Structure 1
């Protein structure tokens, strides 16, 4: 029985490592190619050079796309955090008819395929007259990010002792005051994690952006356009920076989660 369990654990470990290597292979290829001195995509790189990073940061189009992506992700993730937190609190603590239906509506963008969501955004925004505008793009990204914020904040609010809220209510605090001055100060790690998650989601979004952005450029949209025209090695530099950015976001997320656990323990 012990030998069988050992073989089972060993096979599971080997399969896990094989999947991990398979997922990391593109990164292990793309990252070295971004430092290549070749004039086209070539692996392994014949020599070391920063020419593609110089080409990236020397391009006004790429710089504009990067600034747009940062501004868009910051605004949409912040709005999504506010709206998603309010919705999560109402869905968790509220008791009203249709609550399950409302919760399912919030979760819909996570379930519906991206292309269907993009077409729905296109039709709705065209009728509203905001198709191709920056605030329409912000609204689209916010709609995509809110469900993830709701999911994270619902779990955090469920884990918060409701008796503390009840004590605040007996002292005359309103629901909004309880949320702002009692709940959120104790759930800031979850709120920070939700914001980071929404930021990364917005920064990497491409399908909905292609449908509703109009002339506004973002990093993923620019990458998609470049790949349609030609396979420019500058793409490898952009991809490497995006990988580094996502890894940094993951590290910050883990740090925030660790600080949150220490905060809950009173350290």
Structure 2
């Protein structure tokens, strides 16, 4: 074996471990600080306390921001799942002029910088009267989530045997009935994964929210506002909960993906 290739293979696990350590290092710092009894940010913590979690859940502004984030993420991810799934089915199974252009339009929010999307939504919503409203905020987050749903569901629909749909069509089923009664029941793991991904994306979104939310607060926006005024140790508690929330979502995604593979094997 080539010595250089052997050296590269031996160092690859070490390099990967160093990268993971670098990425995980903020968690190892922020999480312990959230349980600190210090009056300011201090690492390592001088003692253990739940004061910052008590401050977090005892403040109505933080609680209201958390409720707003949950409602917003639930609505936007659900709407994005419906719209994105329908769009993905049309893009995969449809044969019409401009299909590639339409597909590129759906993917555009992933490519365009977030600040550009935020400014565009700000101007557009201001003209139609949705700026600063909760429905406008839901619509903005839905626009950000739809491209991810489209990509995930396109891959799932392409992997679904079209002959099953053709059999249903020969038996008299309409296109909508085929989608709802044949395709989607077999693609529920992908749909669940797309919904969870959209939910996390909406829950963590801050740039677009700052531009179009008006007086409506979400957890990321509240964190941003707090950091502008002062570095409050309560932020460490919020950050730790967000990290735990994202890790939980990742675990659920892995479980859904595993069950999806088992379902496909059983089928």
Give the TM-score taking structure 1 as reference length: 0.99
- Map of 2:232 onto structure 1: 232
> What is the root-mean-square deviation in Å for CA atoms of aligned residues?
0.8
Pairing of 1:243-262 with structure 2 (within 5 A): 243-262=243-262
Aligned to 2:146: 146
Following superposition, the deviation at residue 4 of structure 1 comes to 3.9
**Deviation per residue, 1:219-255 (Å, 9 max, x gap):** 0000000000000000000000000000000000000
Structure 1 residue matching 2:110: 3-state secondary structure: helix
Deviations 1:102-141 (A, max 9, x none): 0000000000000000000000000010100000000000
Moved >2 Å (runs of 4+): 2-6
Superposed displacement of residue 58, structure 1: 0.1
**Residue-by-residue CA offset, 1:2-57 (whole Å, 9 max, x unaligned):** 65433211211111111111111111100000000000000000000000000000
The answer to whether residue 132 in structure 2 is matched with residue 120 in structure 1 is no
Q: Map of 1:6-17 to 2, 5 A cutoff?
A: 6-17=6-17
Matches within 5 A, 1:174-193: 174-193=174-193
**Aligned positions, number:** 267
Residues in 2 aligned to 1:176 and 1:242: alpha-carbon distance in whole angstroms? 38
User: In structure 1, how many angstroms separate the alpha carbons of the residues matched to 2:123 and 2:12?
Assistant: 47
Paired position in structure 1 for 2:33: 33
Distance 2:212 2:15 in 1: 41
Q: C-alpha displacement at 1:261, in angstroms?
A: 0.2
Q: SS state of the match for residue 172, structure 1? A: coil
Question: Which 5+ residue runs of structure 1 have no aligned equivalent?
Answer: none
Rounded to whole Å, the distance in 2 between the matches of 1:120 and 1:5 is 49
Counterpart of 2:152 in 1: which secondary structure?
helix
Partners of 2:230 and 2:223 lie apart in 1 by 10
Q: In the alignment, does 2:91 pair up with 1:91?
A: yes
